[in-house]
Amino acid sequence: MSTTKTIDVSPETGEPGRARPGPFRAKRPPGRTWRQALRRDWQLYSLAILPLLFFLVFRYLPMIGNVIAFRKFEPGGSVLGEEWVGLRYVRMFLNDPSFWKVFWNTVIIGGLTLLFCFPTPIVLALLINELRGRRIKRFVQSVSYLPHFLSMVVVAGLVMEMLSVDGPINQLLRAVGHDPIAFLQEPGWFRTIYVSSEVWQTVGWGTIIYLAALTTIDEQLYEAARIDGAGRWRQIWHVTLPGIRPTAITLLILNIGTFMAVGFEKILLLYNPLTYPTADVISTYLYRMGIVSNSFSYAAAIGLFEAVIGLALVMGANLISRRTVGTSLW
Amino acid sequence: MVTDKTRGYQVFRVINTIILTLVVIVTLYPFANIVARSLSDEFAIRAGKVNLLPVGFTLRTYEYVASDPTFWMNYRNTVVYTVVATAIAMFMTTCYAYVLSKKHLKGRKFLIGIAVFTMFFSGGLIPNYILISSLGFKDSIWAIVLPNAISVFNLLVMKAFFEGLPAELEEAAAIDGMSTYGILIRIVLPLSKAVLATMVLFYAVSFWNSWFAAFLYMSQNDLFPVTVYLRNLIAGATTGTSVGADATDMTVATNIKSVTMVLTVIPILVVYPFVQRYFVKGVMLGAVKG
């Protein structure tokens, strides 16, 4: 199922600039051939050349570069590898216990992230929506967006300072008579730290879309609910939540699609050998295997596996949502 | 609204105010903490006394960081990378978004598909690394500014905006014999100042904040952006702790870390209140077509 979608948009299906209609399903206005389209719109097509070149070189070439997952690659040798080795590297990581360790770490961290980072913006948006007074509303919103604009390095730095032995959290622990905890050195704390900092960073920005969706709900629906005797809670349940459901489902699909690609940059900045048992995920593992240890083919095989799962997840979620609730991304 | 006056709702409003106040405090707390640390005496920090207010006020750490030529060099690099990358990204995104906004264009669906597909499937870290290395982009600005020249999200936002512009003006200009380029530059872009400003901000913030590309592809101190400078500081500080380095060195590092963080964030904090509504508008535009 995932392959059919790929074919529609893969670069091999035909350059739009060429004179022949490609095998893709473009709706052809009656009597318009490629020759006519080119004569009429060549200036428009010319504007697309550089961007297309960009996509080809920096997006589609790396996809093709994934063949090294099935070919032996040597640094300094050919970019596309030396010789075919079939599924050797795939078998290698499937039999690698460390791979399964990081696989499950990824699933757990991804799952927790989804569990906390998906619903919190909805709740926060509903709370902000109940605020009276434009000024105060806007203030709360502006403050809550702020972390979204920080560099990941700064976020990691803030997390480290908050959790350092002399930082505020440990000051609190000491105040209640507890020994200080070296949070970032303990595997047991990593997931909590990761997920809570993720919520801190993303919750405010996530509310924007819901707040926009809330303003589009017809005021008459609330009116009708009130006439039917619905209180505040019933109004939220029967009018507000159904009103933002399409938005929520769209975002859920997108979140599920990025499920496996859990925050690589943040984990790379926050983890250390002591916390590998809980913190190491597929992307950080393949980074160490590939870039640090030069096992490019092995790491590429793992990366391809991750990307394919990601694509399958988003398409699966999309399909389910189209069948069940009629909302889909495409 | 009768229901608003019920007791239950009054209680809810009080609780709501408390929760949202907490949200604001929790969001701002870490910033207040690093500002306090950056202005505090190192011994006070080490003793765990610094929380929201500076203890043993000093500007020495700022002087120390400001006297490091590498810091300024890296800061300048960040500015250069951000400006160049944003300029290139704006050019590429505008061109492509304009093309995609023309509904009559043959092959339009295919052109959109090429872009959108990359949102859901990417080549991955290793092939990208090999590509950039074999293009000879290592240790050059191109490794940072070219591979992210088009953000598909921004592209779709801009496309949606262009689609919303009235077609009559462009048609009239075309009848007057103006070329497509002329129409884009003299008619469309002047009407699109709002979305252009938003896009510049989106790109500039993301390039200003980016660190991983530079971390991956650059090996010389004098090429780093300030984010990598900061990353090396905080990474150094943690390895220092785990190896059990000398306590004084450690605190100096903590101090310096806070100052560097404050200095990295300041430009964003300064412009933030003025520009954040543009960001919000941009996201809403994107949500229309998403």
List of chain B residues whose C-beta atoms are within 8 Å of the C-beta of residue A154: 209, 227, 230, 261, 264-265
CB-CB under 8 Å, B99 with A47: yes
Which of A24, A153, A269 lies closest to B110 in CB terms?
A24
Residues A27, A160, single domain; the answer is: no
Structural domains counted in chain A: 2
Residues A201, A150, single domain; the answer is: yes
How much is the average pLDDT of B32-39?
Answer: 92
Model confidence band, residue B286 (pLDDT cutoffs 50, 70, 90): low
Residues A66, A138, single domain; the answer is: no
How many angstroms separate the CA of residue B47 from the nearest CA in chain A? Answer: 7
Q: Which two tokens stand for residue A310?
A: 């990601």
- CATH number assigned to the domain comprising residue A266: 1.10.3720.10
CB-CB under 8 Å, B12 with A200: no
Which of A26, A55, A161 lies closest to B109 in CB terms?
A26
Residue A86 counted as domain residue: no
Task: Give the Cα separation of B29 and B52 in Å (integer).
Answer: 8
Residue A108 counted as domain residue: yes
CB-CB under 8 Å, A43 with B180: yes
User: A184 in contact with B at a CB cutoff of 8 Å?
Assistant: yes
CB-CB under 8 Å, A150 with B45: no
From chain B residues 210-239, the ones with a CB under 8 A of any chain A CB are 210-212, 216, 227-228, 230-231, 234-235, 237-239
Which of A8, A34, A315 lies closest to B113 in CB terms?
A8
Residues A95, A59, single domain; the answer is: no
- Check residue A231 and give left, alpha or beta (phi > 0: left; psi -120 to 50: alpha): beta
Last residue of a domain, one of A39, A71, A103: A71
Least reliable range by pLDDT among A1-5, B41-45, B153-157: A1-5
Residue A83 counted as domain residue: no
User: A212 in contact with B at a CB cutoff of 8 Å?
Assistant: yes
Residues A40, A154, single domain; the answer is: no
Task: Give the Cα separation of A117 and B274 in Å (integer).
Answer: 27
Q: What is the ipTM of this complex?
A: 0.88
User: A224 in contact with B at a CB cutoff of 8 Å?
Assistant: no
Sign, CA dihedral B73-A161-A114-A101, equals positive
What domains sit in chain B, N to C, each tagged with a CATH number?
1-58 (no CATH), 61-289 (1.10.3720.10)
Do the beta carbons of residue A116 and residue A198 sit within 8 Å?
Answer: yes
User: A181 in contact with B at a CB cutoff of 8 Å?
Assistant: no
Residue A221 counted as domain residue: yes
How much is the average pLDDT of B34-62?
Answer: 87
CB-CB under 8 Å, B126 with A300: yes
Torsion angles phi and psi, residue A268, rounded to 5? -55, -35
Residue A293 counted as domain residue: yes
User: B58 in contact with A at a CB cutoff of 8 Å?
Assistant: no
Task: Give the Cα separation of A243 and B30 in Å (integer).
Answer: 35
Do the beta carbons of residue A161 and residue B30 sit within 8 Å?
Answer: yes
List of chain A residues whose C-beta atoms are within 8 Å of the C-beta of residue B276: 142, 145
Q: Which of B3, B106, B281 to mutate to test the interface with A (most CBs of A within 10 A)?
A: B106
Least reliable range by pLDDT among B46-50, B58-62, B212-216: B46-50
Name the percent of chain B lying above pLDDT 90: 54
Do the beta carbons of residue A234 and residue A101 sit within 8 Å?
Answer: no
Residue A85 counted as domain residue: no
Query: Hey, is A33 helix, strand or coil?
Result: coil
How much is the average pLDDT of B244-260?
Answer: 64
Residues A41, A177, single domain; the answer is: no
Q: Which two tokens stand for residue B63?
A: 């002087």
Residue among A19, A1, A255 nearest A120 (CA): A255
Distances (CA, A) of A330 to A75, A247, B15: 40, 14, 40
Strand-pairing partners, residue A72, are A83
Identify the pLDDT of residue B169: 87
Residues A47, A137, single domain; the answer is: no
Residues A285, A142, single domain; the answer is: yes
Q: Which two tokens stand for residue B278?
A: 């543009």
How many angstroms separate the CA of residue B89 from the nearest CA in chain A? Answer: 10
CB-CB under 8 Å, A44 with B105: yes
CB-CB under 8 Å, A41 with B123: no
How many angstroms separate the CA of residue B284 from the nearest CA in chain A? Answer: 7
Residues A49, A101, single domain; the answer is: no
User: A246 in contact with B at a CB cutoff of 8 Å?
Assistant: no
Residues A134, A96, single domain; the answer is: yes
List of chain B residues whose C-beta atoms are within 8 Å of the C-beta of residue A329: 290
Identify the pLDDT of residue A255: 84
Identify the pLDDT of residue A271: 93
Residues A99, A28, single domain; the answer is: no
Residue A77 counted as domain residue: no
Between these two residues, B58 and B282, which has the higher pLDDT value? B58
User: B284 in contact with A at a CB cutoff of 8 Å?
Assistant: yes
Identify the pLDDT of residue A269: 94
What would the pLDDT profile of B81-135 be if each residue is shown by its tens digit?
999 999 999 999 999 999 999 999 999 999 999 999 998 888 889 999 999 999 9
Task: Give the Cα separation of B48 and A167 in Å (integer).
Answer: 6
CB-CB under 8 Å, B109 with A55: no
Angle between helices B7-38 and B247-289 (to 10 degrees): 130
Best-predicted range by mean pLDDT (B95-109, B162-176, B262-276): B95-109
Q: Which of A1, A9, A216, A265 to mutate to test the interface with B (most CBs of B within 10 A)?
A: A9
From chain A residues 74-93, the ones with a CB under 8 A of any chain B CB are 79
Strand-pairing partners, residue A84, are A71
Angle between helices B7-38 and A187-215 (to 10 degrees): 130
How many angstroms separate the CA of residue B7 from the nearest CA in chain A? Answer: 12
pTM listed for this prediction: 0.86
Number of C-beta neighbours around residue B15 at 10 A: 11
User: B254 in contact with A at a CB cutoff of 8 Å?
Assistant: yes
How much is the average pLDDT of B22-47?
Answer: 90
CB-CB under 8 Å, A6 with B121: yes
From chain B residues 61-90, the ones with a CB under 8 A of any chain A CB are none
Its domain, for residue A269, covers: 91-324
Distances (CA, A) of A165 to A53, A161, A268, B143, B255: 51, 9, 21, 38, 14
Sign, CA dihedral B195-B196-B202-B203, equals positive
Residues A143, A54, single domain; the answer is: no
Residue A329 counted as domain residue: no
Alpha-helical regions (H) of A146-263: 152-163, 168-175, 187-215, 219-227, 232-235, 241-257
Identify the pLDDT of residue B5: 63
Do the beta carbons of residue A300 and residue A66 sit within 8 Å?
Answer: yes
Task: Give the Cα separation of A227 and A239 in Å (integer).
Answer: 13
pLDDT in tens, chain A (330 residues): 333 333 333 333 334 444 444 444 444 455 578 888 888 889 999 999 999 999 999 999 999 999 999 998 887 778 788 888 889 899 989 999 999 999 999 999 999 999 999 999 999 999 998 888 889 998 999 899 899 989 999 999 999 999 988 889 999 999 999 898 999 999 999 999 999 999 999 999 899 889 888 888 888 888 898 888 888 888 888 899 998 988 898 888 878 877 777 889 999 999 999 999 999 999 999 999 999 998 999 999 999 999 999 889 888 888 888 887 777 776
User: A157 in contact with B at a CB cutoff of 8 Å?
Assistant: yes
Number of C-beta neighbours around residue A236 at 10 A: 17
Q: Which chain B residue lies closest to A233 (C-alpha atoms)?
A: B9
Identify the pLDDT of residue B1: 45
Paired sense of beta strands A83-84 and A71-72, if any:
antiparallel
From chain B residues 118-177, the ones with a CB under 8 A of any chain A CB are 118, 120-131, 134, 146-147, 149-150
User: B31 in contact with A at a CB cutoff of 8 Å?
Assistant: yes
